[in-house]
Structure 1
Amino acid sequence: MDDYFDNLDATEINLKYFTEHHGEIYKAYETYGHLVHTEGGPLDQKTCWLIKVALSTECQYPRALHTHILKALRGGCSKEEIEHAILLVAPSAGFPKTMAGILILRKILEETATDGITSIH
């Protein structure tokens, strides 16, 4: 898990490279993601983000989980709702995946608290 936090800069650099060299593909991908959220079905945005948090936890995609937690917080999900979504992973996918997800959530909450972000519950 330490590798994840150590490699955030490398991930950002790689994303910058991708968007500079494959901008149209990335734009289409972003548009698709937006359409799935807004037009894909009857689920509200909070539910969509909580599902994405759980899926990212189960799949052990730490960068995606980080992004989905931040978007869930911005989308109105509380820390408790996000933590519950992560806890729900344990019975189906295993306790270690849940613990890794909780670690990422705690790290984000620590970072946002020091940044003075007040919109997070």
Structure 2
Amino acid sequence: MKDRYIENRDIIEGNLEYIHDKHSDIYQAYKEYGKLIHTKGGPLDEKTRWLIKVAISTVCQYQYSVVTHIKKASDAGCTREEIEHAILLTAPSAGFPTMMEALLALRREMKEEEK
């Protein structure tokens, strides 16, 4: 089952579809705003920006976002080890269980066996 470990994935994606269909101008403005901040907001390189987003998603405990940002970090050229380091760095601030949830998402995303 695809991404079954993201709780309420269908509901989340349905809600995204709803906002896109019913409020497309607002959704597009939001997406453009995020894109501008990501690309023109400062001097950080692409990989660093995605690693920060992985860490922020981890701290916020939003699994859908954690998985999305892990994928985008990987696509941007971040290694598995770099992504894991970004997740591990959250433990002192966000707590060990929070970090462990994101680490599990990374392991699942990388198709590693759970032991």
Instruction: State the TM-score, normalized to the length of structure 1.
Output: 0.84
- Per-residue CA shift, 1:3-61, capped at 9, x if unaligned? 86242122111111110001111101110111111110000010000001001101101
Aligned partners of 1:40 and 1:4: how far apart in 2? Answer: 33
Q: Which runs of 5+ in 1 are unaligned?
A: 112-121
- Partner residue, 2:59: 58
Q: Provide the alpha-carbon RMSD of the alignment.
A: 1.6
Instruction: State the TM-score, normalized to the length of structure 2.
Output: 0.88
| Poorly superposed stretches of 4+, deviation over 3 Å | none
- Partner residue, 2:36: 35
- 2:10 matches 1:9: yes
| C-alpha contact 2:70 2:106 (8 A) present in aligned 1 | yes
Indicate the larger mover: 6-15 or 45-54.
Answer: 6-15
| C-alpha contact 1:4 1:63 (8 A) present in aligned 2 | no
| Alignment-mate amino acid for residue 61 of structure 1 | Y
Aligned partners of 1:106 and 1:63: how far apart in 2? Answer: 15
Q: Which runs of 5+ in 2 are unaligned?
A: none
User: How high is the sequence identity, in percent, across the aligned residues?
Assistant: 58
- Partner residue, 2:87: 86
Aligned partners of 2:103 and 2:7: how far apart in 1? Answer: 18
Aligned length: 109
